């Protein structure tokens, strides 16, 4: 793929610029129950920012509030276009509004690194640095969405995006082996029109609901096992 890389990077940037701009509903959201509750941080790219949702209630943050029953303090920070290399810096910029320690941190990252054809080692390094500096009992990273199956993606780009996603997914698998408190969440994303918003890139309300269910089920099951040990 190396000889095509400059061409692909240009095409990826043009593709991102051509996507209709939808409103981010949850760039920063929080639900603080009490200081005595454990903290949960959700951080990542436009899916965490709620792009494609109909309202803040339909985002990952909004759906988490529906199922968590006031069990945790929830902090949600998302940025459109965020890549793995900037995760740590992005969190640092928000530190004044965030607590220091967390029971759980959930990361959603990788789609923009696919579109930008980020070097896999750069992707790996960005996530490693972020995880190492996080004060969290459990860290979860969600599987990279199937960017090559997004309806808005031109056919010419799909093969290369699939290859890039596979390369970055292998890096996630390597990270999981080296961080005992890290768990990968496989999100139930499908090449189904009902799963996409009108831009053909971002999740629909249905997809956000299903993603949240997968995240909540995984974090609660792992957390309960850990608490019993």
Range of the domain at 189: 2-12+22-224
Parallel/antiparallel/unpaired status of strands 72-78 and 38-44: parallel
Query: What is the model's pLDDT at position 228?
Result: 44
Asked if residue 229 is part of any domain, the answer here is no
Asked if residue 64 is part of any domain, the answer here is yes
176, 189 Cβ separation under 8 angstroms: no
Parallel/antiparallel/unpaired status of strands 72-78 and 28-31: antiparallel
Rounded-to-10 torsion of CA 170, 172, 178, 184: -130
Asked if residue 213 is part of any domain, the answer here is yes
185, 214 Cβ separation under 8 angstroms: yes
Query: What is the model's pLDDT at position 229?
Result: 41
Beta bridge partners of 31: 74
Entry pTM: 0.90
Query: What is the model's pLDDT at position 8?
Result: 60
Asked if residue 42 is part of any domain, the answer here is yes
Asked if residue 86 is part of any domain, the answer here is yes
| Cα of 107 vs its chain's centroid, Å | 5
Asked if residue 103 is part of any domain, the answer here is yes
Q: What SS3 state is found at 139?
A: strand
Q: Cα separation of 141 and 159, whole Å?
A: 24
Asked if residue 113 is part of any domain, the answer here is yes
Q: What are the b/e assignments for 110-149, b being 16+ CB within 10 Å? A: bbbbbbbbbebeebbebbbebbeebebebbbbbbbbbbbb
Query: What is the model's pLDDT at position 184?
Result: 94
Asked if residue 17 is part of any domain, the answer here is no
pLDDT in tens, the chain (229 residues): 555 556 566 666 666 666 668 899 999 999 999 988 999 999 999 999 999 999 999 999 999 999 998 899 999 999 999 999 999 999 999 999 999 999 999 999 999 999 999 999 999 999 999 999 999 999 999 999 999 999 888 888 899 999 999 999 999 988 888 888 899 999 887 778 889 999 999 999 999 999 999 999 999 988 655 554 4
E strand residue ranges, 45-198: 72-78, 102-108, 136-142, 182-185
DSSP 54: S
* CATH classification of the domain holding 182: 3.40.50.1110
Number of domain units in the chain: 1
Query: What is the model's pLDDT at position 162?
Result: 94
The owner of tokens 């900037």 is 86
Q: Cα separation of 129 and 127, whole Å?
A: 5
Query: What is the model's pLDDT at position 120?
Result: 96
Query: What is the model's pLDDT at position 6?
Result: 60
């Amino acid at each position: 793929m190396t000889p095509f890389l400059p061409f692909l990077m240009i095409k990826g940037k043009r593709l991102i610029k051509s996507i209709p701009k939808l409103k981010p509903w949850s760039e920063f959201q929080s639900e603080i129950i009490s200081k005595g509750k454990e903290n949960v941080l959700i951080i990542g790219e436009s899916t965490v920012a709620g792009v494609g949702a109909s309202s803040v209630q339909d985002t990952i943050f909004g759906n988490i509030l529906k199922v968590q029953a006031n069990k945790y303090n929830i902090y949600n920070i998302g940025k459109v276009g965020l890549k793995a290399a900037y995760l740590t810096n992005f969190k640092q910029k928000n530190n004044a509004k965030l607590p220091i320690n967390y029971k759980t941190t959930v990361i959603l990252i990788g789609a923009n690194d696919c579109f930008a054809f980020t070097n896999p080692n750069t992707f790996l390094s960005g996530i490693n640095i972020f995880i190492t500096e996080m004060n969290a009992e459990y860290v979860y990273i969600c599987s990279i969405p199937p960017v090559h199956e997004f309806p808005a993606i031109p056919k010419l780009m799909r093969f290369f995006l699939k290859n890039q996603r596979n390369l970055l997914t292998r890096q996630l698998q390597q990270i999981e082996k080296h961080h005992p408190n890290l768990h990968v969440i496989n999100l139930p994303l499908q090449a189904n029109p009902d799963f996409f918003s009108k831009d053909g890139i971002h999740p629909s309300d249905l997809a956000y609901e299903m993603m949240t269910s997968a995240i909540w089920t995984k974090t609660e099951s792992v957390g309960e096992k850990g608490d019993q040990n």
